Amino acid sequence: MAEAAASAVAVEAYKDGRGLIFYVKQKYVCFRNINKNYIKLKEEAEKLYARRNDVEYEIQRNNRMKATNECRVWINKVEKIKKELDDLETKFQIKRKHIWRFQSSRLNMSRCMEKKCHEVKNLWEEGKLENGIIVESLPQRAQMMHAPKIKDKPSLHGVVEEVLDFLKDNDTRRIGIWGMPGIGKTTIMQNLNNNEDITKLFDIVIWVTVSKERCMENVQQAVLERLKLNVESIISTDEVASKILEELKSKKYLLLWMKFGTPLI
């Protein structure tokens, strides 16, 4: 009887011992996996942040480039996931101090790290500069036009120089050039468009030629094409005007407007 009892106790002790060993082993595996996933996630996050920095540097260093809408969305995604990873880092460091506690929550955290690692790697792939989706070239400051030379024509050259002086005055908002047909108004405007000083004074020069019919629509269309704006989903001319205004409000621009044969600046 005593031997049977002793044997039963021994069996229970053996089971308890195996159970304890299995429990400790589980904790060790869980601890090892979460650390492995943590290190991998940190490495992938560093690569992602480096790519974001490269993209932002590329945009800032080249004043002829700008971020596309897709690029801005991508950068926002990177910022969002960075906040999530910072929060995960804080929670991980707290649980790291208590290695043998919160096993189930550490397991969930380890799985979360794996998931975030995949998200980070996908974002890194999306942000490749060679994809051609991160930055786009801005419109040229001025589109060069074929124009007659006027240096040997003092009357026309003098008008161009006079207009340039007006344009250098920040208080000048509008200039009109009038005269009989054939005296060279269009030539003056073309030479202004091509002048090197103009490209130094303005971020963009927009040339518009309109007739009496559909005047406003023609002006808007010319401006949209120069700014490379897509407004296919917009029907109202007022909405188009708002879109143009939004794009131009941060730019210093010159509108060369040929209307009814009368040049306006």
Do 9 and 129 lie in a common domain? yes
Q: In this predicted model, which residue has the larger pLDDT, 185 or 31? A: 185
127 and 165 assigned to the same domain: no
Report the SS3 class of residue 139: coil
Looking at the structure, tell me whether residues 239 and 192 fall in a common domain.
yes
pLDDT tens-digit map of 182-230: 888 888 889 989 888 888 888 888 888 877 655 777 788 888 888 878 7
Q: Are residues 13 and 52 part of one domain?
A: yes
Residue 33 has pLDDT above 80, yes or no: no
On whether both 120 and 179 belong to a single domain, the answer is no
- Reference 237, options 263, 254, 219; nearest CA is 219
Same domain, 48 and 89: yes
Q: Which residue has the higher pLDDT, 178 or 17?
A: 178
pLDDT over 70 for what percent of the chain? 74
> What are the contacts of 248-252 at 24+ separation with CB within 8 A?
251/203, 251/204, 252/201, 252/202, 252/203
User: Does 163 lie in the same domain as 131?
Assistant: no
| 117 and 182 share one domain | no
* Same domain flag for 127 and 254: no
Beta strands in 6-137 (DSSP E): 65-67, 135-137
Whether 187 maps to a domain, the answer reads: yes
Residue-wise pLDDT tens digits, 46-58? 999 999 998 888 7
Q: Is residue 145 part of a domain?
A: no
Looking from the CA of 57 toward its CB, the CA atoms found within 13 Å total 6
| CB-based contacts of 115, cutoff 8 Å, min separation 6 | none
How many domains does the structure of the chain reveal?
2
| Spatial distance between the Cα atoms of 196 and 205, rounded to a whole number of angstroms | 12
pTM over 0.95: no
CA distance 164 to 200: 11
**112 contacts 81 by C-beta, under 8 angstroms:** no
Place of tokens 């600046």: 265
Domain end position, chosen among 102, 137, 172: 137
The predicted pLDDT at position 99 comes to 54
Decide which of 137, 168, 194 is a domain's last residue.
Answer: 137
Residue 83 and residue 186 in one domain: no
Query: What pLDDT score does 48 carry?
Result: 93
CA gap 138, 9 in Å, rounded: 83
Q: How many CB atoms lie within 10 A of CB 129?
A: 13
Which one of 137, 165, 197 terminates a domain?
137
In the numeric block, which tokens belong to residue 114?
Answer: 């794996």
Same domain, 178 and 121: no
Asked if 101 and 158 sit in the same domain, the reply is no
- Mean predicted lDDT score pLDDT of the chain: 77
Which domain covers residue 56, as residue numbers? Answer: 2-137
In the block, which residue shows the tokens 């909405």?
Answer: 239
Q: Does 111 have pLDDT greater than 90?
A: no
**Mean pLDDT throughout 94-112?**
70
